């Protein structure tokens, strides 16, 4: 899990990163 920030931003996380990352990238 070296690319944690990258994976969490693009991959759906149960922690709620999907909403934050999706909103930031969108």
SS percent in the chain: helix, strand, coil, step 5: 60, 0, 40
Non-local (6+) Cβ contacts of 14 within 8 A are none
What pLDDT is recorded for position 22?
52
What pLDDT is recorded for position 3?
56
Q: What is the pTM of this model?
A: 0.14
18 by Cβ neighbours in 10 Å (0-12 / 13-18 / 19+) ranks as middle
What pLDDT is recorded for position 15?
59
């Amino acid at each position: 899990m070296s690319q944690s920030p990258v994976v969490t931003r693009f991959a759906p996380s149960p922690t709620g990163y999907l909403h934050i990352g999706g909103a930031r990238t969108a």
